[in-house]
Structure 1
Amino acid sequence: MRSGRETDEAPRKRVDARTERWRAHRLEVREKFVDAAFRALDTFGPDVSMGDIAKEAGAAKPKLYRHFEDKTDLYNAIVDRVRDMLWERLIAGADLTNDSVRELVRRGAAEYALVVSEHPSVFRFMLHSHFAQQSDDSERALQSARQSAKRAADLFAESVGAESIEVDSVELVIYSIFGAVGSATDWWLGANRLKPQPMPIERFVAYLAETIAALTAANARLNGIVIDIDLPLHLAFSGE
């Protein structure tokens, strides 16, 4: 006869409080270094060095390397920060229930262009960084874009609520939009740096909005769907 605790019961895994505190501390320090990287990029431009970032953070470079494996690790953290920043601003400014598709696209393009204009060196860094010159390293940025595309596609499908919407197809067009927007951003930042009278942000937003709308409409046609962009998202799609 067994008494007390059953002998075949798996023991609970004990959480080491010190390990959890150390993990939280490491995340906090990493975030502070990413903050410093943004400031250093704004000051020194896309050719910023690890030493510049450590100095901006008020730390020695060895400490920076204790919290990031290498330059690529820091590059990935900057990409993730930009992705989260854009996502938060896009969601905060959107009314998925009442805004028309046209307004959602325009507002999304405007929020994106505003972030680019606030941190141009950060975007130049992501597009042409010497921190991520090898193909294996640049794959991380693509992975981040794919994750964002999947996240946006799931949100779109949930908002529309139509069984005819194929999430994979939506994910493909969103990923295509990311590529088109990235190329346009590369051009716009280059033009703004080299020309005395660059393209105004309002015109750039209009270009992005038209590009996004055209890619979305083309994808819809391929799937036999008609879009009325002047209706809210959940009412804008119907079959041909």
Structure 2
Amino acid sequence: MTGPKPQRSPARSVDAREGIIDAAIRLIDATGPNPSMDDIAREAGATKPRLYRQFADKADLYAAIAQRSTDEVYNAIVPKFNFFLNTPIEALNHAVTAYADAVTAHPNVFRFLLQGQHRSSDGLPLSLEMERDLARRLEDVARNIFETISLDSSDLAFVARAAVGAIVSITDLWLESAKTEDVPGLGAFVEQGSALLWGLFDTYLRRLGVEVDGNEPLFMSMAKITGAAEGS
């Protein structure tokens, strides 16, 4: 008489899943943005049946890689959004630098995410899934900042999507340029990205009737605006 099958520990299952994601990222880093499931299984020291016990299909694994990358980008840049102690331009510069560091740490992973041929289980390009997720999270961060200083945040979804979309687009340009001799350095990418983002946010603020100096901390600009309103 056989006893009941041992139940797989949820913690072990999560560890196995994370280990496969780690292996896939290592493989993409080393060999380029077009990994095969056979190669990923081999890098993970697993069989393909074991791999498919952790992921429903290739799209499920690819979506997990995109989610890991999105989480890492978000966790890297959000602490840099200190608009109260830094000027808005400085805060954006720090955030774009943190993002650029993440890209340079795993350029082939970002090529894998951005090239468009890989899709999630929903059939959407991984780049679009990543943009949507990151934009939603950054929108929440921006909304908290705006509400702290009593600014209208009703249309922040538009500017968040525009900002993330712009950075993703110039990331693709940056990575594509790396295939030629004319490669813009990290400093040039950060300078261009920060200026582009500030232009988007400045335009959005002006539509709200608010003029903010990008070279002074936000609380100082808001104090001037509040003082002018009270004195009028």
Q: TM over 0.5, yes or no?
A: yes
Cα gap change, 1:133 to 1:69, in 2 (>3 Å): closer
1:164 is matched with 151
**1: CA distance between counterparts of 2:106 and 2:72?**
12
* 1:215 is the counterpart of 2:200: yes
Contact 1:54 1:60 in 2 (8 A): yes
The one-character-per-residue Cα deviations of 1:86-134 (angstroms, maximum 9, x if unpaired) are 1111134454541221111001111111111111110110012543289
**What CA distance in whole angstroms lies between the structure 2 residues aligned with 1:50 and 1:236?**
53
Which of 206, 210, 217 is the matching residue for 1:225?
Answer: 210
Look up the match of 1:98: 85
Which 5+ residue runs of structure 1 have no aligned equivalent?
A: 1-17
Deviations along 1:130-164, whole A, 9 cap, x unmatched?
A: 43289x42266534433332322222232341333
TM-score (norm 1): 0.82
- Is 1:35 the equivalent of 2:22? yes
Structure 1 segments of 4 or more deviating over 6 A? Answer: none
Q: Counterpart of 1:164 in 2: which secondary structure?
A: coil
1:187 partner SS: helix
1:127 corresponds in structure 2 to 114
Q: Is the Cα–Cα contact under 8 Å of residues 116 and 123 in structure 1 kept in the other structure?
A: yes
Secondary structure (helix, strand or coil) at the match of 2:214 reads coil
Structure of higher CA gyration radius: 1
Contact kept? 1:71, 1:131, Cα under 8 Å: no
Q: How does 1:129-208 map to 2 (within 5 A)?
A: 130-132=117-119, 136-138=122-124, 141-160=127-146, 161-166=148-153, 168-193=154-179, 195-208=180-193
Matched, 1:111 2:66: no
| Sequence identity (%) | 31
CA RMSD of aligned residues (A): 2.4
CA distance in 2, matches of 1:34, 1:236: 45
Query: For structure 2, which runs of at least 5 residues remain unmatched after alignment?
Result: 1-5
Q: Classify 1:147/1:190 alpha carbon distance in 2 versus 1 (closer, same or farther; 3 Å).
A: closer
CA distance in 2 between counterparts of 1:139 and 1:235 reads 42
Q: CA 1:90 to 1:37, structure 2 compared with 1: closer, same or farther past 3 Å?
A: same
Q: TM-score, normalised by structure 2?
A: 0.84
SS at match of 1:48: coil
Alignment CA distance shift 1:221-1:137 (3 Å): same
